[in-house]
A and B are shown apart, each in its own frame.
Chain A
Amino acid sequence: MAIKERTKPIERNPKERAKDFDEVSLGFDEKRAVAEAKRCLQCKIPTCIKGCPVGIDIPGFIKQIAEKNFEKAYKILKKYNSLPAICGRVCPQEVQCESACVLNKVNQPISIGNLERFAADWAFKENINDEIKIEKKKKQKIAVIGSGPAGLTNSAELAKRGYSVDLYEVFHTAGGVLVYGIPEFRLPKEIVKKEVKFLEMLGVNILLDIPVGFAIHPRELLENYDAIFIGVGAGTPKFMGIEGTELNGVYSANEFLTRINLMKAYKFPNTDTPVKFAKKVVVIGGGNTAMDAARSALRLGADVTIVYRRSEKEMPARKAEIHHAKEEGIKFLTLTQPIRYIGEKGKLVGIECVKMKLGEPDESGRRRPIPIENSNFIIETELAIEAIGTQSNKFLLSQFKGLNLNKWGYIVTDENGQTSLPKVFAGGDIVTGSATVILAMGAGKKAAYSIDKFLNS
């Protein structure tokens, strides 16, 4: 039997979408969803499930889509994953569920992410309300610090179990990276807002604008709450640290994206936060953050080049985003490493780079890039955006003493998410280092189980 090709999602024309911040991929319509769902072999031993960090019953929900029982599909998803509309859009499926699908052997894995997204969007459109089953009110109080995917999931789970939950966020909007990092054109903020509303319906008390550790001392938290969950993210940007990093025109991707996404700088001067526009922009890095920064700069009207020190194969970004970036006209300059920023009167005018070649694999298993002698050259540019990763955010940890940290400064927990202080649990990027939305959610959920058990024993 010939295997049918993977169904392609509906995507907006690259030329048109490169001019605005509206969503790029429109996902599946009903016809496509059903066609794609029918391709699923409904394996007796579904390997795909092992590829999903939260173990969604993938054949189960897909079967319902194939039979046009979209509501049932949605309900199955919701049992495992409280944020299917988000995960369907942003999970790196090609290294998770879809890589584990048997049909990957013939390069045509089921488009699980798009199906998940379809079911969630359908439920949203049809106003299918999630059943809110809240257990009998318990007397214990829990503080959740940070409203990224880890904190959102943790508070939802605990609220459903009847606990009083105070969710603290230092920003003026809840959502963590989902609102300040990942751009609108990849994850509409409407979706995040809806999830936050859902938390409110569950009775979670959301407290914005509060820098925990500074406005509330950790001692007070320990006194006033029966358990604490820390989900403050990895957050702090790393710089390469090359000469000229202080020049005007050099940004971290976090700053560039925060100005644009959270502060809506692309609407300046109708909004008050400015961001630099430039004709030519260089983005350094090869992950999701680099793609997001590059595609945002493009939408502000720039000619954008991504500079990456390994080859495209090693780029950690979602494959779909690399593909989208190329379609939109972003240039890729791989095997290239910036070594110095060049400034004039304090402003960036160029970057000196050196060409690289790939040597033996390093600890991460990726081939190590080695500079090629005398291959230096200069790229002229007014803006450089570094997207080379983040490190442990010390904002809370500088105030919250007594937690065991590992050598990189991330919180050490046991397999249940419990830290060295018995009342305190943690999860997400602040434990693993920057990872993924679904892993942060999984950690938030697991810690909720552990907190429940801890409080009932």
Chain B
Amino acid sequence: MKLSNKITRKEKLAYGIHMLWIENELVAKNAKAGQFVIFRIYENGERIPITIAGTKNNEFRVIVKAVGKSTYELCRLREGDYIQDVVGPLGQPSEIRKYGNVLVVGGGVGIATIIPIVNELKKHNNKVDVILAARNKNYFILEEEFHEVDNLYFVTDDGSRGFKGFAHEMMEKLLKEKNYDVAWAIGPSLMMKACSDISRKYNLKIWVSLNAIMVDGTGMCGGCRVKINDELKYTCVDGPEFDGRFVDWESFNTRLTQYKEEEKLALKKYLEKVGDPIWL
């Protein structure tokens, strides 16, 4: 079995957004759309979840956005380096089947995350419309991988490309004109919440992928718990995808801030050690 966890290819897609291909046959062969891996980069590292954004032969790919110590470190690794621990695939796969008309929204690194989902939906003969949202025109990553979708829309905060505004506004515009059978929205949690609010208004089921803080990823710690319809669910084993209309977004977002001070300290210490993060 090829489980070397070697970084075989690496590419910078935008500032602070890097694509890594990693050799791990078990993940590559078994991953389904919507699943994730957990990395531990080195012996004293923390366990961080990252979505599997494609597979090829014995390798799988992830797209990492640098937001703190561990993701900065991940982006700093080079081709030929190894990741100490790679655990996966984890989580429930996306519920893919023939729905009819599907609307998929990807924001930020979420653009990469939706690629396997969009591809599977197409394989199941769905009509798939996709909204890609980014801060400005320089942050549209991997857009060439969306050429088979039925309609592709671009949204930027500053209007530098496509619709000026937010993803959920574009979504509402489309929902007014057209009927969809189901939707997906993956990206920053503010975007997912806003899209879920629109979905509720139009009575449309919407899958979101929750990026809860995790440790084990096996249902053993309960740290990734979220409130769905007033019931506690574990994101790592019951999710990560849930119907966004029923997520308690307020507590979800607050739980994401649990270690704010510690994270700041960790990044500061790291930057003191390595200097300016010119590699980002």
Cβ < 8 Å to A, chain B residues 194-244: 215-223, 225-227, 232, 234, 237
CB closest chain-A residue, reference B92: A398
Interchain CB contact under 8 A, B89 and A236: no
Determine if B156 is an interface residue (Cβ-Cβ < 8 Å).
no
Shortest distance from the beta carbon of B50 to any chain A beta carbon, whole Å: 14
B220 contacts which of A215, A245, A254, A276 (Cβ < 8 Å)? A254
CA distance A268 to B219 in the complex (A): 24
Determine if A371 is an interface residue (Cβ-Cβ < 8 Å).
no
Determine if A258 is an interface residue (Cβ-Cβ < 8 Å).
yes
Interchain CB contact under 8 A, A248 and B90: no
Q: Name the residue in B85, B248, B262, B265 with the highest tally of chain A Cβ atoms < 10 Å from its Cβ.
A: B262
Determine if A402 is an interface residue (Cβ-Cβ < 8 Å).
no
Known: A259-B215, A272-B45, A274-B266. A235 touches B232 (CB 8 A): no
CA distance A267 to B266 in the complex (A): 12
Known: A252-B221, A258-B216, A258-B221. A263 touches B269 (CB 8 A): no
Determine if A278 is an interface residue (Cβ-Cβ < 8 Å).
no
CA distance A259 to B222 in the complex (A): 12
CB closest chain-A residue, reference B258: A248
Interchain CB contact under 8 A, A254 and B222: yes
CA distance A455 to B227 in the complex (A): 47
CA distance A406 to B160 in the complex (A): 60
Interchain CB contact under 8 A, A217 and B257: no
Interchain CB contact under 8 A, A246 and B26: no
Interchain CB contact under 8 A, B232 and A263: no
Known: A214-B90, A272-B46, A274-B266. A258 touches B220 (CB 8 A): yes
Known: A248-B257, A264-B44, A346-B251. A269 touches B90 (CB 8 A): no
Interchain CB contact under 8 A, A248 and B88: no
Determine if A395 is an interface residue (Cβ-Cβ < 8 Å).
yes
CA distance A269 to B68 in the complex (A): 13
Q: A241 contacts which chain B residues (CB < 8 A)?
A: 232
Determine if B161 is an interface residue (Cβ-Cβ < 8 Å).
no
Q: A218 contacts which chain B residues (CB < 8 A)?
A: none
CA distance A246 to B234 in the complex (A): 11
Residues of chain B at the chain A interface (Cβ within 8 Å)? 3, 26-27, 30, 35, 40, 44-47, 69-70, 84-90, 215-223, 225-227, 232, 234, 237, 248, 250-251, 254-255, 257-259, 262-263, 265-266, 269
